[in-house]
Amino acid sequence: MSDADHAQRSTGKSASGKLAGGKNRIDFQTAPERYRHWKLSIDGDVATLAMDVDEKAGLFEGYDLKLNSYDLGVDIELADAIERLRFEYPQVHALVLCSAKPRVFSAGANIRMLAGASHAHKVNFCKFTNETRNGIEDLSANSGLKSICAINGTAAGGGYELALATDYIMLVDDGSASVSLPELPLLAVLPGTGGLTRVSDKRKVRRDLADVFCTTEEGVKGKRAVEWRLVDAVAPGSKFEDTIAACAKDFAAQSPRTAKGPGIKLAPLTRTFASDSIEYGTLSVEFARAERIATITLRGPIAPPPASAEAMMAQGAEFWLLKLARELDDAILHIRINELDVAAIVFKSAGEAAQVLAYDAFLDANRDHWLTREIRHLWKRVLKRVDLTSRSLVTLIEPGSCFAGTLAELTFASDRSYMLLGQREGDNKPPATIALSEANFGPYPMSHGLTRLGSRFLADPADLEQAKSERHKMLDAERAQKLGFRLVGGTPEQLGAHLKSEIDKWAKVAKAAGLAPK
Amino acid sequence: MSDADHAQRSTGKSASGKLAGGKNRIDFQTAPERYRHWKLSIDGDVATLAMDVDEKAGLFEGYDLKLNSYDLGVDIELADAIERLRFEYPQVHALVLCSAKPRVFSAGANIRMLAGASHAHKVNFCKFTNETRNGIEDLSANSGLKSICAINGTAAGGGYELALATDYIMLVDDGSASVSLPELPLLAVLPGTGGLTRVSDKRKVRRDLADVFCTTEEGVKGKRAVEWRLVDAVAPGSKFEDTIAACAKDFAAQSPRTAKGPGIKLAPLTRTFASDSIEYGTLSVEFARAERIATITLRGPIAPPPASAEAMMAQGAEFWLLKLARELDDAILHIRINELDVAAIVFKSAGEAAQVLAYDAFLDANRDHWLTREIRHLWKRVLKRVDLTSRSLVTLIEPGSCFAGTLAELTFASDRSYMLLGQREGDNKPPATIALSEANFGPYPMSHGLTRLGSRFLADPADLEQAKSERHKMLDAERAQKLGFRLVGGTPEQLGAHLKSEIDKWAKVAKAAGLAPK
């Protein structure tokens, strides 16, 4: 790690050159009216998302985003647009991904941006772009919104990888438009956003052809691209737009997504950034910088769940479980990319566990409503993001906490969960409990397809069944220990000392191995 | 890469300090009477393999192999012993792996050896030790020889990883013997020989406990090790040996391995090393060092297969398909570890394709014989070794070559297969052909469990069925192309020029990316 990286890390700022426009952090919040790189348009049941990267609007100084190449800022807008299709436009049943620039679809991740980026930024950039592409596939697999990629020219590297995340790739047959993964022959690196995997495992390209493809700088075009299964179809330029439109209509007609709209508005998050904290509506983040700890305290609902799906629709983005998911997602992304010195994230919660269970029961009772389905899928994606955040994750279960049902998933996602024994001095709250609901046994699978509890209890299905039989009960530390949900109990002082010694230990190990700033 | 590494690479010698005893290459051939680190003993249907590492007999100068720690030399003997159990002792139906040293099982890979080793050596060391452990599991899964690990003291890091490769781990309960994976807390590296994977996926240790385990330097002992599923049982020191012996008897009695012996002797390979070639009985290796190419030419059988399984037993290690597998394995291992400058391995063959098919048919006809089963499993492992050799693999199919059945797997394992069109000037051999047999459709799965053709034709099972229907036919270049078995045909000169330009291209790419010596 260079000295410059060290300096950047120690400020807690993003470690990839100087942010453009005098910004001091990367913001994951945006909205279509502020997009610089994409145009989202809706025509009946078909949405079109056109890539039109503003080359002067890079996230960092020092590079131009030529030829629809992208940086994290471009992908943040893409991810935002995909979320809005889910929540704001349930009537959309097919998506066309295309380029607004002539004869170029996308040149992929911007090479100059990558060359100037720190390792930490590149890792987080790749992670987020992968999550966005997984999100496009999730949109198809679980929300019935199939996507078509219209490649009107060069689709190289990350440009083709973006296409690979869609269900159907159409390539213009004009003698020059091509798809390629030139990372290996040009840069001697592997495609970082799922290219090889999707070529072989998703599109099932013959492995000998896949090998030739990803070692050939110029890529493959025309009919050969179809024969090799790299794209699904080609069409001449004169018929390209009509063919895409017909295909989109077809996909929309076949979609199992039946919602008619209107959706709900994803209003901007209300956040207050202070030097050592961020305040959201349903959670707060506190930074103990000397200890390298960020503590996220989630707040339970302040009111019972709405009386009906219609009432939930009326609450819209204010509906507690939706608001919390969006805010938690934003907080995690912020810590990942802007707070590189945070070594451990500690989850706490405060509220009525019974109310959390009531919200889970509400979602369950309305499980066929499009909005509850989308909220569940959002939680699934946010929890996967937590799983893959690459910081030490610790949950503290204390008197007054509400790690129940959906929120209890955070304790299972954590590397360590600690449960306080007994009560705090001068605090008359009853001892800490956790509780399970249906939400812990299905709707939030991890990346490998198993639930967190299914993964934990892989050795013996009976353990999983026993946990299931204890749904909706408040489980104290002893019972939780028996069921396999906590490792360490202790007084607040013991837990605090333990946590500090753990972080000191790992800081030393990382330093000795040259993995941390000196 | 340091200058010292460069110097070592350019000599074509192993890149990890100075070999002990004045040796100039690492030899993968050994035999029990020459073991320095293991004692193999056979008692009826139970074999015992006792680790007793000679600390002064390290492969390189500069370290002592204390506390049953190991280097590649120790693992070469272990791999040899496992092969001999398969072929020389078919009457053995259970294996006990133990330590001959008091109160220590194994301290794992020697840390000082690793600290002094080049990256290339470490990669190849980890690869080979992983293959050896996979081989122990293959012995259990496919040859019915279950293994028990008797841990009489400390089993740390690679020591515990070795235990994890067995079917049943017994730990002495003496208040101090423990299992541990201290790599992370001690060295900030991940266990390199399958430790994390086998803890979670094979032994299904609860993931929260697995996390604690592999971040705790001191490991876990006694009953807790059983409760956490890290070992299968504990026994007090006074009963330890009797318990192991009873367990081994039990495993042997339940084994599906029914062979009674005697086995066949794995005679030493006959090899002649010259400066730019190695001559084996059934193949030769030629090094074109300026071009960074090693060419392995496999020779077809010189006689038809034996008339019966008994006749095959009489041939023993001279049986062509067995001899070729052993020699190919040795050649590949030699290139991997001693010839670091070789960028591409080119496979050629010479012989009668019909005879190769006759050998495959012979194995098929005798598929229930223990020796044919072991030969098939050996080929399976050797081909996996080829798959994972991390050099560019090229097969040249020429007039007079015999890439049929088992040998045809090499063309499917290769990154590129080239088939000569037409005949060579002044050569009256008929044009090149390849041929398939049953051997291409089952007995040689890759690491992911699919056959090479199954993997190649993943997109459409009909392609696989069509290939299957063409078994036993000599397929010329045109037919092979149609079936999806070759990419490029050409004259010998064209192919030679193509190969040279490819190697030049990749040398430049690797150099530009800082991946190759300057």
- Closest by CA to B457, choosing from B470, B441, B476, is B441
Q: What share of chain A is helix, strand, coil (3-state, %, to 5)?
A: 45, 20, 40
Give mean pLDDT, residues B429-451.
95
Residue B416: which of B500, B488, B496 has the closest Cα? Answer: B488
Residues of A in contact with B204 (CB under 8 A): 458-459
The C-alpha of B266 sits at a distance from chain A's nearest C-alpha, in angstroms, of 36
CA distance B459 to A199: 11
Least CB-CB distance to A204: which of B204, B207, B458? Answer: B458
**B-side interface with A, Cβ within 8 Å?**
184-189, 200, 203-209, 211-212, 229, 415-417, 455-459, 484, 487, 505, 509-510, 512-513, 515
The residue of chain B with its CA nearest to that of A452 is B207
Cα gap B201→B79, rounded to integer Å: 24
**In this predicted structure, what is the pLDDT of residue B260?**
85
Beta-strand pair B69-70/B108-109:
parallel
Question: Residue range B339-354: average pLDDT?
Answer: 95
- With cut-offs at 50, 70 and 90, classify the pLDDT of residue B356: very high
Q: What's the gap in Å between the CA of A160 and the closest CA on chain B?
A: 20
Between CA B122 and CA B124 the distance in angstroms is 5
Contacts of A204 in chain B (CB under 8 A): 458-459
Q: Nearest Cβ partner of B188 from A184, A211, A513?
A: A513
Contact B207 A456 (CB under 8 A): yes
- The nearest CA of chain A is from the CA of B410 a distance in Å of 13
Q: What is the mean pLDDT of residues B163-181?
A: 98
What pairing do the DSSP bridges indicate for beta strands A272-273 and A233-235? Answer: unpaired
Binary contact (B187, A229; C-beta < 8 A): no
**Is beta strand A277-279 parallel, antiparallel or unpaired with respect to A272-273?**
antiparallel
ipTM: 0.91
In degrees and rounded to multiples of 5, residue B178 shows phi and psi of -150, 160
Report the b/e string of A219-235 with b at 16+ CB within 10 A. Answer: bbbbeebbebbbbbebb
Residue A517, both tokens: 């700033």
Residues of B in contact with A392 (CB under 8 A): none
Token pair recorded at residue A466: 């026993």
Contact by Cβ (8 Å): A147, A168:
yes
Residues of B in contact with A207 (CB under 8 A): 455-456, 458
**CB < 8 Å to B190, chain A:** none
Q: Which amino acid type is present at position B302?
A: I
* pLDDT, position A427: 82
Closest CA to A434 of A461, A378, A463, A396: A396
Structural contact between residues B445 and B513, judged by C-beta atoms closer than 8 angstroms: no
Residues of A with CB under 8 A from a CB of B: 184-189, 200, 203-209, 211-212, 229, 415-417, 455-459, 484, 487, 505, 509-510, 512-513, 515
| Separation of alpha carbons B84 and B164, rounded Å | 21
β-pairing, A277-279 vs A283-288, is antiparallel
Which chain A residues have a beta carbon less than 8 Å from that of B184?
509
Amino acid at residue number B24: N
Q: Which strand (E) or helix (H) includes residue A273?
A: strand A272-273
Tell me the two tokens of residue A369.
């409503």
The answer, yes or no, to whether residue B482 has pLDDT greater than 70, is: yes
Per-residue tens of pLDDT for chain A, all 518 residues? 333 333 344 333 444 689 999 999 999 999 999 999 999 999 999 999 999 999 999 999 999 999 999 999 999 999 999 999 999 999 999 999 999 999 999 999 999 999 999 999 999 999 999 999 999 999 999 999 999 999 999 999 999 999 999 999 999 999 999 999 999 999 888 998 999 999 999 999 998 899 999 999 999 999 999 999 999 999 999 999 999 999 999 999 999 988 888 999 999 999 999 999 999 999 999 999 988 999 999 999 999 999 999 999 999 999 999 999 999 999 999 999 999 999 999 999 999 999 999 999 999 999 999 999 999 999 999 999 999 999 999 999 999 999 999 999 999 999 988 888 877 778 888 889 999 999 999 999 999 999 999 999 999 999 999 999 999 999 998 899 888 886 666 776 777 777 778 878 887 877 777 766 53
Residues in chain A with CB shorter than 8 Å from the CB of B509 are 184-188
Question: Residue A489: what pLDDT?
Answer: 65
Contact A459 B206 (CB under 8 A): yes
User: Residue B516's pLDDT band (boundaries 50, 70, 90)?
Assistant: low
pLDDT score of A487 = 63
Residue B447 has pLDDT above 90, yes or no: yes
- Is B188 within 8 Å of A515 when comparing Cβ atoms? yes
pLDDT band at B511 (very low <50, low <70, confident <90, very high): confident
Give tens-digit pLDDT for B29-84: 999 999 999 999 999 999 999 999 999 999 999 999 999 999 999 999 999 999 99
Contact A487 B187 (CB under 8 A): no
Specify the pLDDT at position A8.
Answer: 40
- DSSP-derived 3-state class of residue B276: coil
pLDDT at A454: 96
CB contact under 8 A, B456 and A208: yes
Q: Which residues fall within 8 angstroms of residue B242, CB to CB, at 6 or more apart? A: none
Q: Give the residue carrying structure tokens 């991946």.
A: B515
- Whether B208 and A487 lie within 8 Å, measured CB to CB: yes
Q: Give mean pLDDT, residues B378-397.
A: 95
State pTM to two decimals: 0.93
Report chain A residues whose CB lies below 8 A from the CB of B487.
Answer: 208-209, 212
- Between A and B, how many residue pairs show a Cβ–Cβ distance under 8 A? 73
